Structure 1
Amino acid sequence: MKAVQFEEFGGPEVLHIVDREVPQPGPGQVRVRVQAAGVNPLDGKIRSGALQALFPTTLPVVPGFELAGVVDAVGEEVEELSVGDEVFGWSDTGAYAEFALVTAMAVKPSGLDWASAAALPVASEAAERVLDLLGIKAGETLLVHGASGAVGTLAVQLAVERGARVVGTAGPDNLDRVAGLGATATTYGPGLVDRVRALAPEGVDAVFDVAGKGALEDSIALRGSTDRIITIADFRARELGITFASGPGQRSAVRLGAVGRAVAAGDISVVVTTYPLERAVEAQQLSDGGHSRGKLILLVS
């Protein structure tokens, strides 16, 4: 099968297409013919070697944590899925490939396209997990740093569903998009504290940092403490006494299925930018830059 792989740590240029053996499903696994694979900032951090201390990686590696595709083979102990079923979920073997093994997945709703389905597993899990950790309630004000990205757009919409008011930061080109999600939009960067205080004079009850671009000190100033501030992107968190909540989290097929149905019904929107698998280098370059709008997706088949 065709797959993207790297054999050494470095920049996106270490990625290249290789031929690998098609993996065989073990107990509890299915093999999926991949249609679309999600590109995440974590992919680039692992590829660069920056996270070896936290996520030890044995080379060579096929990147990618999330995918959507068609069940191609079923392992032992799998009873609810059959060959031909359309699914989306988390890859066990790397998603930048024509085939991957999957344990945690949901059946893809018929109204959900492949790219949007592949955009959901990682981002929806992270968004829901952090909103739960923050204990967001109706009537509260949540500040989201990086509201136009894959996790940020879902966090905004899910928080609004909970009855919260959201102030979301983004670049100038993405302010209209963030406002369209139901948030009060403002730019990030110098003067952020004053801008947020003008928009939310009653204060912010919680902060979700998706961007990891140096906004933690401003978040502390706005909160008046480190309480109810969580980042999934800024590794300085522990130095400042802030909760760092990045990681694999709980891979719930039930919750993923619910989000997928909401997207298919038009209740939640996602924005995707697609590249063919052969342009994985370009997609990761854009991801590494941190300015992509919505979710980057590799189309495989």
Structure 2
Amino acid sequence: MSTESHTQSAVVYTETGDASVLHFVEREIAEPGPGEVRVRVVVSGVNPTDWKSRTGGAPGEKPPFDEVVPNQDGAGVVDAVGDGVEGLTVGDRVWTYLSAHQRPTGTAQQYTVLPVDRVIPLPDGVSFDVGASLGVPAVTAHRALTVAEDGPSRLAPGALEGRVVLVSGGAGAVGHAAIQLARWAGATVITTVSGPEKEALARSAGAEHVVNYRDDDAADQIRAIAPDGVHLVVEVSIAANLALDLAVIAPRGTVASYADNGGDTVEVPIRPSMVLNARYQFILLYTVGAAALAAGAEDVSEAARQGVLEVGEEHGLPLHRFPLAETAAAHEAVENDTVGKVLIDVA
């Protein structure tokens, strides 16, 4: 489609609720302002935060803007740049993150206008599918792997050498990225899963050791692999898993919790945590701060350039594709805990 028509296909909602509030419409193509970039979206990625934002915090709650285009992540090609933009030019392949954060328009549309700091060059040879899968999952995983007291604060080959990382829920999108990034950085990676199908995915992602968290002796299995304990836990369900985490964590170890799966409250035993000097770090990309986001985006791009963050079933993350007109179905797939990555083909 040419921008000469001045309209584009987009998915919008004007009220919060289930996926039925999403509507496929034609809307104006916006011009980039100072410090902004317009991206022709090729692939849009869907994450749990997208449907949770669409649902809202309470029944009848108004969206933050009169009309919202959902989806935080995407990949495409720079189509236009505003005044003062440096480092990006028309025709550059890019990936985006936090595209809809505090803004009315995300990536569920053919053209999206974003602040330049949310648009990252997509390395040569890295597919748009990978680009659309980086934002929320990979940057969250990066943050989780860089919050320990004893470091590192950045990821690169060797950064986690000698460390043992436990990834809870290794078959999920964040868990998948955490396995890949931790292995790239030199860690020994253990992951917990619920069964053989997810074990196969975690191993395809690169996990060296896989434990079924439902086993009565799960802690013993992990301790057999890591007798001195686990240095860092990337945790998807701290409410359900804290007892296991404390049974296997090393002194000064960190539990980095990025989701509330399994319960929205957790009871922390004080004395066992104190004896271990355990650190609990809660993670939400929206509030981690600009420096951590920039570091994450830079390291994630380099990992992708080195072929680390591949997607697809053969790499441990099955892809589920939807056309833009079926964005509601894509949201429902994520909401129903579909195993793998949900992508929307926009272009």
TM-score by length of 1: 0.86
Cα separation, partners in 2 of 1:258 and 1:179, compared to 1, 3 Å: same
What's the CA shift for 1:77?
0.5
Alignment partner, residue 182 of structure 1: 207
Q: Which residue of 2 aligns with 1:299?
A: 345
Q: Find the residue that maps to 1:214 and give its secondary structure.
A: helix
Tell me which residue corresponds to 1:128.
Answer: 142
What residue number does 2:276 align with? none
Partner AA of 2:127 in structure 1 = D
Residues 45 and 159 (structure 1 numbering): CA distance in 2 closer, same or farther, change over 3 Å?
A: same
Q: Which has the larger radius of gyration?
A: 2
Answering whether residue 108 of structure 2 is matched by residue 96 of structure 1, we say yes
- 5+ long unaligned stretches in structure 2: 1-7, 153-159, 270-279, 313-318
Q: 1:254 to 1:71 in 2, by over 3 A?
A: farther
Q: C-alpha displacement at 1:106, in angstroms?
A: 2.0
Q: CA deviation at 1:72?
A: 1.4
Query: In the alignment, which residue of structure 2 is the partner of 1:233?
Result: 259
Distance 2:66 2:242 in 1: 34
Q: Which moved more, 1:76-85 or 1:131-140?
A: 131-140
- When structure 1 is superposed on structure 2, of 99-108 and 231-240 the one drifting more is 231-240
Contact 1:34 1:100 in 2 (8 A): yes
| Cα contact 1:106–1:253 (8 A) shared by 2 | no
Per-residue displacement from partner, 1:240-294 (whole Å, max 9, x unpaired)? 484321122447567535534543443442233322112222221221123422x
Aligned-partner Cα distance in 1 for 2:47–2:305: 22
1:22 to 29, 32, 40: 29
Moved more, 217-226 or 181-190: 217-226
1:163 corresponds to which of 162, 179, 186: 186
* Offset of residue 6 of structure 1: 1.8
The one of 326, 330, 336 equivalent to 1:289 is 336
Quick check: 2:139–2:300 contact (8 Å CA) kept in 1? no
Count, aligned residues? 297
Instruction: Give the stretch that moved more between structures: 10-19 or 125-134.
Output: 10-19
Change in Cα spacing, 1:11 to 1:202, as seen in structure 2 (3 Å) is: same
| Deviation of 1:109 (Å) | 2.3
Q: What is the alpha-carbon root mean square deviation over aligned residues?
A: 2.8
Q: Please, which of 37, 40, 47 is the counterpart of residue 40 of structure 1?
A: 47
Deviation at 1:194, TM superposition (A): 4.7
Q: Residues 231 and 237 of structure 1 are in contact (CA less than 8 Å); yes or no, is this contact kept in structure 2?
A: no
Note the C-alpha offset of 1:32: 0.8
Query: Does the C-alpha gap of structure 1 residues 289 and 216 become closer, same or farther in structure 2, counting only changes over 3 Å?
Result: farther
Asked if 1:110 corresponds to 2:124, the answer is: yes
- The 8 Å contact of residues 274 and 298 in structure 1, kept in 2 or not, is answered as yes
TM-score normalised to the size of structure 2?
A: 0.76
1:2 CA drift (Å):
1.4
1:111, CA displacement in angstroms? Answer: 0.8
Quote how far apart the aligned CAs of 1:58 are. 3.2
Structure 2 CA distance, aligned partners of 1:58 and 1:226? 43
Once the two structures are TM-superposed, the CA of residue 44 in structure 1 deviates from its matched residue by: 1.4
In structure 1, the residue matched to 2:56 is 49
CA pair 231-155 structure 1, distance change in 2 beyond 3 A? same
Report the 3-state secondary structure (helix = DSSP H, G, I; strand = E; otherwise coil) of the residue aligned with 1:274.
Answer: strand
Identity over the aligned pairs, expressed in percent? Answer: 34
